[in-house]
Amino acid sequence: MVSNSSLNASSAVTADASSDLILMVTLFQGLPGVRYACFAALLLIYSATMLANLTLALVICLESSLRRPMFLLMALLSATDAVETTNLLPRIMANLVSRDSHVTVPECIAQMFFVHTGIRLQSFILTAMSVDRYVAVVHPLRYAALVSNVRVLRALLASVALATLPIFGYVAVASGLRYCRPMVTSSPNCDITIIGSLSCGDLYPSVIFTYVNIVTGIALPLLLVVAMYGLVFADLRRRRAGPSERSHRKAVHTCLSHLFVVAVFFAFIAFTFINGLNLYTIPRDVRFPLQILQYVVPPALNPVVYGLRTAEIRRAFVRLVTRRVAVA
């Protein structure tokens, strides 16, 4: 736990408004053993998460039978998770074990850019997956006509543009801020609220960008996801009895698994949003670990739900390994 005196002392070191360095204060400053244990745990989780996500994406790309819209969306989600995790966890781990946990303002702005872009892109991919499930379950006979790999790739390009372009507004605002407060933050990562809290400039543009991005990148996708799965479950309930009851149970099980991933993702986003707006005070010793979990739990959970629990992906993985062993 970081005492107020140590935080104030750290603040004094970087209180110069002209400084280009931001001190990122971590937990357990006076307990090096605990910090190294946390570093080891995060390193293990990071390694396992990267291995699982990259393996899932690689299996889908290499196995021709999996080159279908839903699996391509899974691969895109895994790739996005890998990028988002790499953008954040290495810096958090470095701050835990390093004596110098400073970050430059340009590096902080760059991390902010990838954080917000990654969150929006993940939100759009999860939305596309919910639309795919809706068409597959409610309109199975029209699925091939409505959903294709080409349309998935077009949706990906549109999602990248919609996720990236608005965040350049954040970069423009953050780059023009005048920093006049102590360059110290107790957050494990950089975002627009952290950067804005260090300045004395006009934050009205960043507030506008924040609300617009929350509506377009989080709220609207969430509403669409809820609507799609609501329609799916309503359709399955109407047809739950009959000769295809077994397939309906399988569809319900699949959709519930996907909905669980969506709920976890948006729950952490909601926590970050509430925390950033300071709607209520969250103790730092609670807030800091929860912020880290936002970038640990969803990326680690996705390969389990979409990979290990999907029979086609498990069989494809076994076939690939078997072929590699046979060649060797």
pLDDT of residue 12: 43
**Bigger pLDDT: 1 vs 200:** 200
Which pLDDT does position 58 carry in this prediction? 92
Across residues 271-288, what is the average pLDDT? 66
What's the whole-number mean pLDDT along residues 35-46? Answer: 92
Q: Give the residues across from 103 on adjacent strands.
A: 22
Dist CA 268 CA 254 (whole Å): 22
Q: What is the mean pLDDT of residues 27-41?
A: 83
Place of tokens 């902010």: 112
Question: Minimal CA–CA distance to 296: which of 93, 160, 150?
Answer: 93
pLDDT at 56 over 60: yes
pLDDT computed for residue 172 by the predictor:
85
For residue 159, name the pLDDT band (cuts at 50, 70, 90): very high
At residue 18, the pLDDT reads: 55
190 token code pair: 């950089």
Q: At what angle do helices 149-164 and 69-97 cross, to 10 degrees?
A: 30
Greatest mean pLDDT among 3-7, 17-21, 58-62, 317-321 lies in 58-62
Give the Å distances, CA to CA, from 158 to 4, 219, 224.
Answer: 46, 18, 17
Residue 282 has pLDDT above 70, yes or no: no
DSSP of 92-115: HHHHHH-S--EEEHHHHHHHHHHH
Residue 138 backbone phi and psi in degrees, to 5: -85, -35
Which pLDDT belongs to residue 174? 83
DSSP for residue 215: I
CA 248, chain centre distance (Å)? 30
- How far apart (Å, rounded) are the C-alpha atoms in residues 23 and 103? 6
pTM, full prediction: 0.86
Phi, psi of 110 (to 5 degrees): -65, -45
User: Among the listed ranges 136-140, 146-150, 233-237, 243-247, which one has the minimum average pLDDT value?
Assistant: 243-247
Q: Is the pLDDT of residue 3 over 50?
A: no
Instruction: Please give the DSSP secondary-structure letter assigned to residue 241.
Output: S
- For the chain, the average pLDDT equals 82
Shortest CA distance to 53 belongs to which of 229, 307, 315?
A: 307
Q: Give the residue with greater pLDDT, 293 vs 328.
A: 293
Whether 288 shows a pLDDT value over 70: the answer reads: yes
pLDDT at 233: 87
Query: Residue 278: what pLDDT?
Result: 56
Amino acid residing at 110: A
Provide the 3-class DSSP secondary structure of residue 103: strand
Work out the average pLDDT over 248-255. 76
Per-residue pLDDT of 93-119, as tens digits, reads 988 888 778 888 889 899 989 988 999
**275, two tokens:** 């925390």
Taking CA atoms, 179 is separated from 20, 194, 290, in Å, by 9, 12, 27
DSSP strand pairing (184-185 vs 21-24): parallel
Whether the pLDDT of residue 200 is over 90: the answer is no
